[in-house]
Amino acid sequence: MELLELLKERYSVRNFADKPVEQEKLDKIIAAGMAAPSAKNFQPVKVYVLKSEEAIQKIRDVTRCAYNAPVVFMIAVDKNKEWHNDLEEEITSGTQDASIVCDHMMLEAASLGLGSVWVGWFAPSKAHEAFELPENEQVIMLLPVGYAAETSVPAPNHTKRIPREEMFKEL
């Protein structure tokens, strides 16, 4: 499948089938995340693969947006390793680096016939506490992954896009 076709067909799955994800598919998703670039190649991203019953229950206690996915990738950043822009002190790369990793993983999941949904609706501090993460790590997003349930469909506004000229400006 052409990349553009995959990008257009992929949608946020919020209803997963009760079916485990094969380890070889998880390994490919992880490899895609590892292939992601990061600022100055500092690689500050830490991905927790939540798949045990205990881990899945913990994340479901943190947010209802883990849905019923059999696997949830919890994507965090090591604040001690992220790049800092020396031209403007408050500018760092951690969130962008985590986003690129998540996007690579999400697209690889789609290429393998799996569904996913990018989740930001949760309290990162509660996830941090529930999983007893190191102080220097900040949870950025979740990526529930699994096989889409037969009843799963894209959200009604999935294909709605602003006009090209509103998004892209040639200068």
pLDDT at 89: 85
Adjacency order of strands within the sheet including 71-78: 45-50, 71-78, 137-146, 115-116
Q: What's the confidence (pLDDT) of residue 33?
A: 98
| pLDDT tens string 20-40 | 999 999 999 999 999 999 999
Instruction: Look up the pTM and report it.
Output: 0.95
pLDDT at 37: 97
Element (H, E) at 116: strand 115-116
Which domains are delineated in the chain?
16-147 (3.40.109.10)
Give which of 69, 74, 70, 71 is closest to 15, Cα–Cα.
69
pLDDT at 5: 94
Quick one: average pLDDT of 51-61?
97
pLDDT for the residue numbered 54: 98
Quickly state the pLDDT bin for 72 (edges 50, 70, 90): very high
Q: What is the DSSP string of 44-112?
A: -EEEEEE-SHHHHHHHHHH-GGGTT-SEEEEEEEETTTS-B-TTSTT-BSHHHHHHHHHHHHHHHHHHT
Tell me the average pLDDT across 28-53.
Answer: 97
The mean predicted confidence, pLDDT, of the chain is 96
Q: What is the mean pLDDT of residues 43-49?
A: 98
pLDDT exceeds cutoff 80 at 1? no
What average pLDDT score do residues 140-154 get? 96
Q: How confident is the model at residue 47 (pLDDT cuts 50, 70, 90)?
A: very high
Burial class (CB in 10 A: 0-12, 13-18, 19+), 5: exposed
Map tokens 């996913």 to a residue: 116
pLDDT of residue 99: 98
Kindly list the distances between the CA atom of residue 110 and the CA atoms of 46, 131, 162, in Å, as whole numbers in the listed order.
21, 27, 24
Q: What percent of the chain has pLDDT over 70?
A: 100
